[in-house]
């Protein structure tokens, strides 16, 4: 059994920033299913928001205006005190990363460059060409290495040890040795990322299963606002590789098959830089109404960068150009990019407050796996990288306060009981049953894609819910081919499948019960936002029969009363 003051699960930006903040004073274990620089944070392209006011068009920008844009973009479901905290921390976080060596793009005067992003009143998105997540992640990993952070990579967390409302650590599988290892910890922080692979079409890496959210849920910790799923407007046709919002921030146009810049119909002022929920719905509408282009991989819309010129594309969007040439044989210098919307981000997640604390003592969550909530019903582009680093940093402040205020003594017996439960589950999955995990997962993903998508209706959601319940029953009969624990990806997939089903169940049920349209959640049978009935967060907790129990809690409103969203 290993023992640490803090165990951090997840090697992306949130986990690394928390580890950097904690490691000088406390013993810290960073556990990641992949090497940290293969974490999904590396895929973020466009930038990180901060009101630096470096851009000539943002000279009067400030954290208050950033907060308002965030709250408005959230369709007023964000907790405003949390959004304000994030936006106030933003400039310091960006400067801190700069001082640690992050190579941001620069204006000619040497200041950090900023580009426009959707839903923002000012160009406040700081960037490094179109690989911002890459440079931020490498900068933090270098910092963690310099500080001697203990990293366990290719270790998969299988369960939380929670007893009488207190977290005592985690049970992990070392995939290389094939051993189950309890890690006894005074505090545990989950920074495990989103659940994109619950959907069939997603920009997310294959590791983004939402397993961290599902593990916390199984341990009795609520999920919050799971029905709010962000669909990115622009993924590359056929592969769903992300085409950054920075492509539109740099001036890219969206065209339908009639040659129209159709966003004028939906967001006449913001055009291509409307918030993601509005832009994705607009593209989907064009495609459904016959104004898309047809291809063997499906219907698509064109993203045109040709007017930007080769030099600007080479300087600002080199990765996008490379993806397009390599994967669809399109050079955006000469041809429009074929794009389609698909699942991208999780607004919902583990229910925590703005100190990253959950209802279970000693258990924290931050980043995309959590719901603070700073994004509410819709996240603005550039706020995700910001959230990861800000709340990783804030977790590294709040965890010491907890440790210093309590005489924390994690219980070894609680860990051993949890390990026995994990071993029992593995025995079940490796004996009996006639279902393979991957066909069951594909059924779930297809149902989520078809019926819990950009547009939703009661009939579709009821059909999806029935399919989720069917999949849950099929899971009882899943069996994997080998009982070996060494690099057994089929077994890991089967273990995570249960968590993915729970995540899909919460998304679908929350969407069915929320009879309004707000942000990313658009009901064709309830097209208007209804603040009187639905200005509230959805909570899903695991009931005694394993079904999600839904309850609600108030949104924190401080300065900004809900009003109509126009762009």
pLDDT tens-place values along the chain, 567 residues long: 899 999 999 999 999 999 999 999 999 999 999 999 999 999 999 999 999 999 999 999 999 999 999 999 999 999 999 999 999 999 999 999 999 999 999 999 999 999 999 999 999 999 999 999 999 999 999 999 999 999 999 999 999 999 999 999 999 999 999 999 999 999 999 999 999 999 999 999 999 999 999 999 999 999 999 999 999 999 999 999 999 999 999 999 999 999 999 999 999 999 999 999 999 999 999 999 999 999 999 999 999 999 999 999 999 999 999 999 999 999 999 999 999 999 999 999 999 999 999 999 999 999 999 999 999 999 999 999 999 999 999 999 999 999 999 998 999 999 999 999 999 999 999 998 899 999 999 999 999 999 999 999 999 999 999 999 999 999 999 999 999 999 999 999 999 999 999 999 999 999 999 999 999 999 999 999 999 999 999 999 999 888 999 999 999 999 999 999 999
Domain boundary among 321, 341, 361: 341
Does a structural domain hold residue 434? Answer: yes
Does a structural domain hold residue 357? Answer: no
Does a structural domain hold residue 325? Answer: yes
- The CATH number linked to 297 is 3.90.700.10
Distance between start and end Cα atoms, the chain: 55
Domain boundary among 308, 325, 341: 341
Does a structural domain hold residue 58? Answer: no
Measured in degrees and rounded to the nearest 5, phi and psi for residue 352 equal: -135, 165
Q: How far apart are CA 213 and CA 218, in angstroms?
A: 9
Contact at 8 Å (CB) between 113 and 126? yes
Q: Are residues 462 and 545 in the same domain?
A: yes
Of the listed 184, 276, 355, 456, which one is catalytic?
276
Q: Are residues 427 and 322 in the same domain?
A: no
CA distances from residue 467 to 229, 510, 512 in whole angstroms, order as listed: 19, 15, 14
Across 217-245, b (16+ Cβ under 10 Å) vs e yields bbbebbbbbbbbbbbbbbbbbeebbbbbb
Domain boundary among 290, 324, 341: 341
Q: Is 276 assigned a catalytic role? A: yes
Q: Are residues 438 and 545 in the same domain?
A: yes
CA distances from residue 109 to 55, 56, 82 in whole angstroms, order as listed: 11, 11, 33
Q: How far apart are CA 129 and CA 314, in angstroms?
A: 9
Global pTM reads 0.96
Which H or E element spans position 300?
strand 298-304
Cis-peptide into 345, omega within 30 deg: no
Q: Which residues pair with 146 in a beta bridge?
A: none
- The CATH number linked to 524 is 1.20.58.100
> Within 10 Å of residue 336's Cβ, how many Cβ atoms?
20
Q: How far apart are CA 447 and CA 479, in angstroms?
A: 22
Please count the residues of the chain. Answer: 567
Rounded to whole angstroms, the maximal C-alpha distance in the chain is: 68
User: Which domain range does residue 497 map to?
Assistant: 414-549
> Within 10 Å of residue 291's Cβ, how many Cβ atoms?
17
Q: Are residues 317 and 431 in the same domain?
A: no
Q: Are residues 432 and 540 in the same domain?
A: yes
Give me 193's structure tokens. Answer: 């990322």
Does a structural domain hold residue 142? Answer: no
The pLDDT score that the predictor gives to residue 55 is: 97
Q: How far apart are CA 539 and CA 225, in angstroms?
A: 6
Q: Are residues 449 and 335 in the same domain?
A: no
Domain count, the chain: 2
Does a structural domain hold residue 246? Answer: yes
Q: Are residues 304 and 424 in the same domain?
A: no
Contact at 8 Å (CB) between 410 and 369? no
Q: How far apart are CA 531 and CA 305, in angstroms?
A: 39
Question: Residue 341's Cα: distance from chain center in Å?
Answer: 16
Does a structural domain hold residue 152? Answer: no
DSSP 405-423: HS-----HHHHHHHHHHHH
């Amino acid at each position: 059994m290993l023992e640490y003051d803090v165990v951090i699960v997840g090697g992306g930006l949130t986990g690394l920033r928390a580890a950097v903040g904690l490691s000088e004073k406390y013993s810290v274990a960073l556990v990641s299913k992949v090497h940290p620089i293969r974490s999904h944070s590396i895929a973020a392209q466009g930038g990180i928001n901060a009101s630096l006011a470096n851009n000539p068009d943002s000279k009067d920008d400030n954290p208050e205006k950033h907060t308002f844009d965030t709250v408005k973009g959230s369709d007023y479901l964000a907790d405003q005190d949390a959004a304000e905290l994030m936006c106030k921390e933003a400039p310091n976080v960006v400067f801190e990363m700069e001082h640690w060596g992050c190579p941001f793009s620069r204006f000619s005067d040497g200041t950090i460059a900023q580009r426009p992003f959707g839903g923002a009143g000012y160009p406040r998105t700081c960037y490094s060409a179109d690989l911002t997540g890459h440079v931020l992640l490498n900068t933090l990993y270098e910092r963690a290495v310099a500080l001697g952070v203990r990293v366990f990579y290719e270790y998969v967390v299988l369960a939380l040890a929670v007893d009488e409302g207190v977290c005592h650590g985690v049970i992990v599988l070392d995939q290389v040795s094939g051993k189950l290892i309890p890690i006894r910890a005074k505090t545990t922080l989950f920074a495990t990322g989103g659940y994109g692979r619950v959907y069939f079409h997603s920009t997310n890496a294959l590791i983004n299963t939402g397993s961290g959210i599902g593990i916390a849920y199984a341990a009795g910790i609520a999920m919050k606002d799971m029905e709010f799923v962000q669909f990115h407007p622009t993924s590359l046709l056929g592969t769903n590789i992300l085409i950054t919002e920075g492509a539109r921030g740099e001036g890219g146009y969206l065209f339908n098959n009639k040659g129209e810049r159709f966003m004028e119909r939906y967001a006449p002022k913001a055009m291509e830089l409307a918030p993601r929920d509005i832009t994705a719905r607009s593209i989907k509408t064009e495609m459904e109404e016959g104004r898309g282009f047809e291809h063997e991989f499906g219907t698509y819309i064109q993203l045109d960068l040709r007017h930007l010129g080769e030099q600007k594309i080479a300087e600002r969007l080199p990765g996008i150009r490379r993806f397009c040439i390599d994967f669809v044989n399109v050079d955006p210098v000469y041809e429009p990019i074929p794009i389609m919307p698909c699942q991208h981000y999780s607004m919902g997640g583990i229910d925590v407050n703005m100190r990253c604390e959950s209802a279970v003592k000693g258990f924290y969550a931050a980043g995309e796996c959590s719901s603070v909530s700073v994004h509410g019903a819709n996240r603005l582009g550039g706020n995700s990288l910001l959230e990861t680093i800000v709340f990783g940093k804030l977790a590294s402040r709040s965890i010491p306060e907890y440790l210093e205020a309590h005489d924390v003594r994690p219980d070894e017996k609680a860990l051993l009981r949890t390990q026995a439960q994990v071993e029992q589950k593995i025995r079940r999955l490796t004996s009996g049953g006639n279902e393979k995990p991957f066909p069951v997962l594909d059924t779930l993903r297809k149902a989520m894609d078809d019926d819990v998508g950009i547009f939703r209706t009661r009939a579709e959601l009821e059909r999806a819910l029935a399919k989720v319940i069917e999949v849950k029953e099929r899971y009882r009969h899943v069996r994997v081919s080998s009982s070996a624990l060494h690099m057994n990806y089929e077994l890991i997939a089967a273990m995570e499948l249960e968590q993915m089903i729970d995540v899909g169940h919460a998304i679908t049920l929350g969407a069915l019960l929320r009879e309004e349209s707000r942000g990313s959640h658009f009901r064709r049978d309830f097209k208007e936002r209804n603040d009187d009935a639905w200005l509230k967060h959805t909570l899903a907790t695991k009931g005694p029969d394993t079904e999600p129990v839904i309850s609600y809690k108030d949104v924190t409103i401080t300065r900004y009363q809900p009003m109509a969203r126009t762009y």
